[in-house]
Amino acid sequence: MTKGLPGLRGVDHIGITAPEFEAAAEFLENVLGLEPFCEHGPFGSTENNFMHDMLNVHPRAMIRKVRHYRCGHGPNIELFEYTAPDQRQVMPKNSDWGGPHITLYVDDFDAAIVHLRAHGVRLMPGGGGPEIEDGPEAGLRSWYFLTPWDLQMELISYPRGKGYESITDKRLWDPRSPGR
């Protein structure tokens, strides 16, 4: 048996579910600048277990709407509006099992923070400090923020690279040169 997924090229998309679809779409499009691409839905079943068998959700879950977004040069984002009899309506924290966060790379960190503040985005109080000085993340700046529906996101920038690059020829995917 071989190690690793044959033919793996990268992350295609990240799916997120929001409680108020249009408000989430407004944030993704007008605050973050994601490009809406296509939309479909609704789908689900009142007669079979398709939703459970396909998506591991309640058999009577319904996807009201799905919109796909182009997100710069990275993975696409897929926004969902679901209803389900057993739907949990609280966002998991980063420390919860499966707790998500989406990180967006920006070229101008300070301008991005000014932009988020101008739009009233809730920035976590402990972010935005100087570049990390030591270790594999040296050169990185980071600031976490919350979407209007409390999904945790992060801005990062490392225009001169990261510290790990000085100790190995291996490289993580880098939005500064996405073809590498």
Q: Please give the chain's pLDDT, 180 residues, in tens.
A: 889 988 888 899 999 999 999 999 999 999 999 999 999 999 999 999 999 999 999 999 999 999 999 998 889 999 999 999 999 999 999 899 999 999 999 999 999 999 999 999 999 998 887 889 999 999 999 999 999 999 999 999 999 999 999 999 998 888 888 766
Alpha helices per DSSP H over 27-154? 50-55, 109-118
Torsion sign over Cα 52, 93, 95, 111: positive
CA–CA gap between residue 138 and residue 42 (Å, rounded): 46
Q: What local confidence, expressed as pLDDT, does residue 6 receive?
A: 81
Residue 179 confidence (pLDDT): 66
pTM of the predicted model as reported, rounded to 2 decimal places: 0.90
CA distances from 166 to 102, 107, 128, 170, 176 (A): 26, 21, 24, 10, 17
Question: For position 180, what pLDDT does the model report?
Answer: 61
Q: Which amino acid is at 76?
A: N
Structure tokens at 91: 């966002």
Report the pLDDT value the prediction gives residue 1, as an integer from 0 to 100.
Answer: 82
CA distance 159 to 141: 9
The structural domains of the chain, ordered by start, are 11-84 (3.10.180.10), 100-180 (3.30.720.110)
- Quote the CA–CA distance of 180 and 171 in Å, as a whole number: 9
Query: Which residues are paired to 15 by β-bridges?
Result: 78
| Cα atoms found within 13 Å of the Cα of residue 10, Cβ hemisphere only | 13
